[in-house]
Structure 1
Amino acid sequence: MAPSIITGLLLPLLAATSSLAFDTTTRCTTSTFSSLSGVEISTVETLKGSSILRLPDLVPSCGGPDKNITVSADICRLVANVRTSNSSSIRIEAWLPDNWNSRLLATGTGGTGGCVDYSRLQSGAQLGFAAFGTNAGHDGSSGHDFFLNQPEVINDFGHRAIHVEAAVGKKITALFYGREVSKSYYDGCSTGGRQALQEAAMYQDDFDGILAGAPGVDWLKIVASKAILARRIGWPDLNSSAYVRPEQWQAIVAKQIELFDELDGEKDGIIDAPQNIRFDPALLACGTGALGQDLCLHPDQVQSVEEAYQPLTNGDGEIIYPPFIIGASTGVFSNNQKDGKPILNYSLVRDFWRGAVYNNSDWNENNFTLSDLDYALSINPGGVNSNSRDLSRFHQRGGKVLAYHGLVDTTVTPLLSMEFYKGVQAAVGLSLEEMQSFYRLFLVPGMDHCSAGPGAWNIGQVYPLDSKRLDAANHALLALVDWVEGGKAPDFLTGAKYQNDSVSQPILAERRHCPYPSQSRWDGRENRRDVRGWVCGYA
């Protein structure tokens, strides 16, 4: 087995070890990239680390027009549009650092795409990667107009944008640095996680290593589930005896945590293994005393809550999407009224079905049923729901997948990642040991969607980075690099919980997170806030 290469990635050693020190001022010109075909360059500029980059052209849903970000390294910044068809193009942004580690890092998008992931560009460039982002073919992460009558734009979002980003990114990097990249990586969460695993299935040569957070595979089912669950709890009839109000849901989730928190040995606001717990909402019925008279559940509401934690099934009774996880905030389907009128706060249902599924601005989600999901699945706009469980070719060429998922994810149930992992294992035909040799999934107790939450959730996936935790044990991307290039599969990832979730503040707790199906367990001796008190084992 090759020795670990992570020491070559540590920032203080970049110029002296694995990096190529480069003067961007001599190459950071439009003429350097003039041989690129089908690429229209709009910006080429040299930026210094710690300078402020102003982004006045961003649409409001991407943070503009007043968004300013800190440049994380001395870079050459390139912005270009790449033609993908006669009626579509994607925007690519490249941050090419002076101190290049010879690797490429591509990133994805969230929601319905439309916004460059600047935080991952910042992290990637700081670590020495030639870092790339994309708008996935349109501007904006909310709305539906950009999809109306635009099938090729939908194709970009559905399956094509990351592949184009990878291909063009490699050409840009080679032109700028004068040599090919040594290895190519991808980092994305949510929709970015869907894009990650679609890449591995459809374009297995694009990346050597893929970091997929809360992967939104079965994307149409994920989005549709919010409307279906809202209907299960009585919406849009806010006066129905079955309707469970938003404030009741807050009390329900708080009571779940109160009931099951201490099963792991300590009351810390975290249910360690919610996937193993069966919750009976009758415990919260009026008359039990569990909730106050204003919040307790009447008989029809008990049934509604029961149904909210059931999986989605098709007309034949087959499970097509796993259930919502207990202990997670239910706002994605229970925050469904405004000013006393029914409105689903989770706007992706409205946006995507209006723009990409029905191509109809007047469509309304208030009557959403399984037939709306079935229709979307039948046409599969842009290939957004392509089954990516067969990773045979990616496995055969030696690719690695490192996935992570929070166990209180409010948007994508972590049960989906567990089901997907088993699906890949079955499709590729591997033993668990063989599966672990190329695909590892880390479940993070107390982590919400991609980040945040009460648990020790920081595994290096957010910017700014903690310079004291840039190693394979504490940083998921560096663990992936060590696995791909050093042959060392991560036996665990150490998560940190910072005061106020800020890396400039003290660490309140650290915890070892383990590759599924093993689980992180407290040894009963060490301080629970000390990483040494956590071991990996099986239930």
Structure 2
Amino acid sequence: MAFKHLLAALNAAFPLVRGASYACNPATFSLPDTTVISASPHSNASQIGLPGTVASCGEPDLVANITADLCRVVLSVQTSPSSAVQIEAWLPDEWSGRLLSTSDGGIGGCIDYQTIQNGAYLGFASFGTNAGHNGSVGFDFFLNQPEVLNDFGHRAVHVEAETAKLVATQFYGCAASKSYYAGCSTGGRQAFQEARLYPEDFDGIIAGSPGIDWLHIVASKGIIARRIGWPYLNSSAYVRTEQWTAIVAEIVKILDPLDGVVDGIIDNPTTQRFDPAILACGTGVLNASVCLHPAQVESVRKAYEPIANTAGQIVYPSFELGSNTGVFSANQVNGTAQLSYTILQDFWLGAVYNNTGWTPMNFNETDMDFSIIVNPGRVNAGETDLSAFYKRGGKILSYHGRNDETVMSALSERLFAGVQSSLELSLDEIHSFYRLFFIPGMHHCSPGLGAWSIGNAQSYPWDYSRLDPEHNVLSALVRWVESGTAPDHIIGTKYVNDDVGGEVQSQRRHCVYPQISKWDGRGNVWRIDLIKDTEIFVHLGLPTSTLNVGTSQCIPIMLCV
């Protein structure tokens, strides 16, 4: 079903514009400090090559699927004498009058084609940015490049937003009606920084798994690695990679039933505690090849403790129970100590210390604290003062997986409470512009065992049969911004083999925080009937003929601040 049919009332207010009457060539565009690299028309359902794409952004032969008749424009915007941001625009012939901007994860550097493709299909003039450098692996693009760091830290998305408005006006002959942003991880960090630093850029923002407090997020991977004995791989305290698989499986086995449903998912790990002593050798819980010796028990205990700075202040929440530990436990290659989480080494080497001789082998809280002092590119922007965005009527829809291995979901709880406190708002008042949804069983941005598909940023293609505001966060945000209907819940979908748009395995209602989605005790595992507002629960692997129908509701819980 086409997006314009699902939101017919909104589109009636903002009629479609024929972009084809404007020439799709470089001469159409005249922007300050900008070079138009290319402008070329493309037909729906065709494919285009993306030559020159660096390896960490895909492959040299990376291609993109064209999702509408459109004009593709590639620009380079000079942001300082020593830095520039590359921006890509997909301008559909059938335009809804809306803009959609996006960014990338990790240390940026890649155009988010997934979101651009979805946006163009839905009639948005869609934009992506490389955040000022090419590639998401490496340190050399940051080394001795303070202005490139400013682009990555806070400037690139702002430049993208301003450029998008000019490009759309010049191509379509009229200004956009609304401007939206969707990003996940680092893109989620940039979402909140936009609302904080540049509140006029966007009318509505989607912030997935937001990497706010980014320096502590990255530093935590090195600190926890040290807590489990790394880089001393032969020490009695070191917990081997294969042991962690057994540890996490046992944690899930023990804690999963506490939410009332045995489905392999811990609904909210921030409310649970776990004593690793139960996994010690001799208890019989783990076999002799992976059970924990005394020093290892202590290492696992420390791995799940919050992180404090050198002054003893807790600055980062505990690693969440049930999440994949590879970000800190996959730390050797062929028996040699080496972090697989390369972002830490790349950013501290190229941006924090600006020293090619630095290594993370002795990483500790002093290194973490130093990064906060330096704050390269203002990558930590202090996101809680969103007063200007709130006062101008902007809307933020944020979502976060409860099984996120990279950015702890507790950070989103902390941010929500921080914004509420900074602005001195009641729950109803903060919900008038900022709504948060937790997705049990979802990994970082996507996918996971849970009903994770909600129109996630950096996920393509979406299920185009579920583009309504009940199932798609972008549609929900547009409805909220343009008609004032705020989302109370989002229905997530889990597909068989995570083949989005294929056979539905299960669904679940995800409630606006601080409400929770609670099983009513009838039936077994979560599934939502697509016609009625009821929920079906099935055991994993059980044939659909044995489904039992039950009901559920969003239940209020106390918000601790």
TM-score category, normalised to shorter length: over 0.9
1:31 to 22, 27, 37: 27
Partner of 2:547: none
Equivalent position amino acid for 2:469 in 1: A
Q: Which runs of 4+ in 1 moved over 6 A?
A: 11-17
Q: Establish whether residue 494 from structure 1 lines up as the match of residue 491 from structure 2.
A: yes
Partner of 1:51: 46
Counterparts of 1:101 and 1:23, CA distance in 2: 11
Secondary structure at the aligned position of 1:467 is classed as coil
Q: Establish whether residue 525 from structure 1 lines up as the match of residue 519 from structure 2.
A: no
Secondary structure at the aligned position of 1:188 is classed as strand
Equivalent position amino acid for 2:554 in 1: C
Q: Establish whether residue 93 from structure 1 lines up as the match of residue 88 from structure 2.
A: yes
Q: Establish whether residue 464 from structure 1 lines up as the match of residue 477 from structure 2.
A: no
1:444 to 426, 439, 442: 439
Q: 1:9 to 1:413 in 2, by over 3 A?
A: farther
Q: 1:202 to 1:535 in 2, by over 3 A?
A: same
Secondary structure at the aligned position of 2:73 is classed as strand
Partner of 1:285: 280
Partner of 1:103: 98
Counterparts of 2:196 and 2:277, CA distance in 1: 43
Partner of 1:3: none
Equivalent position amino acid for 1:522 in 2: W
How far off its partner does 1:362 sit? 1.7
1:485 to 482, 486, 492: 482
Equivalent position amino acid for 2:426 in 1: S
Q: Establish whether residue 538 from structure 1 lines up as the match of residue 556 from structure 2.
A: yes
Equivalent position amino acid for 1:64 in 2: E
1:223-243 Cα shifts (integer Å, max 9, x gaps) = 000000000001000111111
Partner of 1:384: 379
Counterparts of 1:232 and 1:194, CA distance in 2: 27
Equivalent position amino acid for 1:538 in 2: P
Counterparts of 2:5 and 2:126, CA distance in 1: 15
How far off its partner does 1:15 sit? 8.6
Partner of 2:221: 226
Counterparts of 1:276 and 1:13, CA distance in 2: 42
Q: How does 1:263-412 map to 2 (within 5 A)?
A: 263-412=258-407
1:389-441 Cα shifts (integer Å, max 9, x gaps) = 11011101111110000001010010111111111111111111111111111
CA contact (8 A) 1:19 1:128 kept: no
CA contact (8 A) 1:9 1:127 kept: no
How far off its partner does 1:78 sit? 0.2
Q: Establish whether residue 10 from structure 1 lines up as the match of residue 6 from structure 2.
A: yes
CA contact (8 A) 1:495 1:513 kept: yes
User: What fraction of aligned residue pairs are identical, expressed as a percent?
Assistant: 55
How far off its partner does 1:385 sit? 1.0
1:249-282 Cα shifts (integer Å, max 9, x gaps) = 1100000111112222332111112111111111
Equivalent position amino acid for 2:556 in 1: Y
How far off its partner does 1:298 sit? 1.1
Counterparts of 1:279 and 1:448, CA distance in 2: 20
Equivalent position amino acid for 2:26 in 1: T
Secondary structure at the aligned position of 1:27 is classed as coil
Secondary structure at the aligned position of 2:422 is classed as helix
How far off its partner does 1:177 sit? 0.7
Counterparts of 2:68 and 2:104, CA distance in 1: 22
Counterparts of 1:19 and 1:381, CA distance in 2: 43
Partner of 2:543: none
1:129 to 104, 120, 124: 124
Counterparts of 2:356 and 2:133, CA distance in 1: 18
Counterparts of 1:525 and 1:289, CA distance in 2: 34
2:164 to 150, 158, 169: 169
User: Quick check: 90-99 or 266-275, which moved more?
Assistant: 266-275
Counterparts of 1:13 and 1:398, CA distance in 2: 21
Q: 1:447 to 1:272 in 2, by over 3 A?
A: same
Counterparts of 2:193 and 2:109, CA distance in 1: 18
CA contact (8 A) 2:22 2:28 kept: no
CA contact (8 A) 1:357 1:376 kept: yes
Q: How does 1:168-187 map to 2 (within 5 A)?
A: 168-187=163-182
Q: 1:224 to 1:463 in 2, by over 3 A?
A: same
1:454-494 Cα shifts (integer Å, max 9, x gaps) = 00000011211212101100000110111111111100000
2:59 to 59, 64, 70: 64
CA contact (8 A) 1:328 1:409 kept: yes
2:420 to 417, 425, 435: 425
How far off its partner does 1:27 sit? 2.3
Secondary structure at the aligned position of 1:142 is classed as coil
Secondary structure at the aligned position of 2:164 is classed as helix
Counterparts of 2:134 and 2:464, CA distance in 1: 33
Q: 1:14 to 1:123 in 2, by over 3 A?
A: farther
Equivalent position amino acid for 2:86 in 1: R
Secondary structure at the aligned position of 1:441 is classed as strand
Q: 1:244 to 1:100 in 2, by over 3 A?
A: same
Equivalent position amino acid for 1:529 in 2: W
Q: 1:463 to 1:7 in 2, by over 3 A?
A: closer
Counterparts of 2:465 and 2:428, CA distance in 1: 32
CA contact (8 A) 1:15 1:21 kept: no
How far off its partner does 1:11 sit? 8.4
CA contact (8 A) 2:492 2:509 kept: yes
Counterparts of 2:178 and 2:11, CA distance in 1: 18
Equivalent position amino acid for 2:403 in 1: V
Partner of 2:471: 474
Unaligned runs of 5+ in 1: 1-5
TM-score normalized by the length of structure 1: 0.96
How far off its partner does 1:285 sit? 1.0
1:73 to 62, 68, 81: 68
CA contact (8 A) 2:401 2:445 kept: yes
Counterparts of 1:96 and 1:386, CA distance in 2: 32
Counterparts of 2:8 and 2:309, CA distance in 1: 55
Task: Report how many residues are paired.
Answer: 533
CA contact (8 A) 2:10 2:482 kept: no
User: Quick check: 80-89 or 316-325, which moved more?
Assistant: 316-325
Counterparts of 1:191 and 1:128, CA distance in 2: 25
Q: 1:504 to 1:393 in 2, by over 3 A?
A: closer
Secondary structure at the aligned position of 2:435 is classed as strand
CA contact (8 A) 1:96 1:131 kept: yes
How far off its partner does 1:538 sit? 3.0
Secondary structure at the aligned position of 1:452 is classed as coil
CA contact (8 A) 1:508 1:529 kept: no
CA-based RMSD of the aligned residues comes to: 1.6
CA contact (8 A) 1:8 1:17 kept: no
Q: 1:15 to 1:193 in 2, by over 3 A?
A: closer
User: Quick check: 310-319 or 229-238, which moved more?
Assistant: 310-319
CA contact (8 A) 2:218 2:344 kept: yes
CA contact (8 A) 1:55 1:64 kept: no
CA contact (8 A) 1:193 1:214 kept: yes
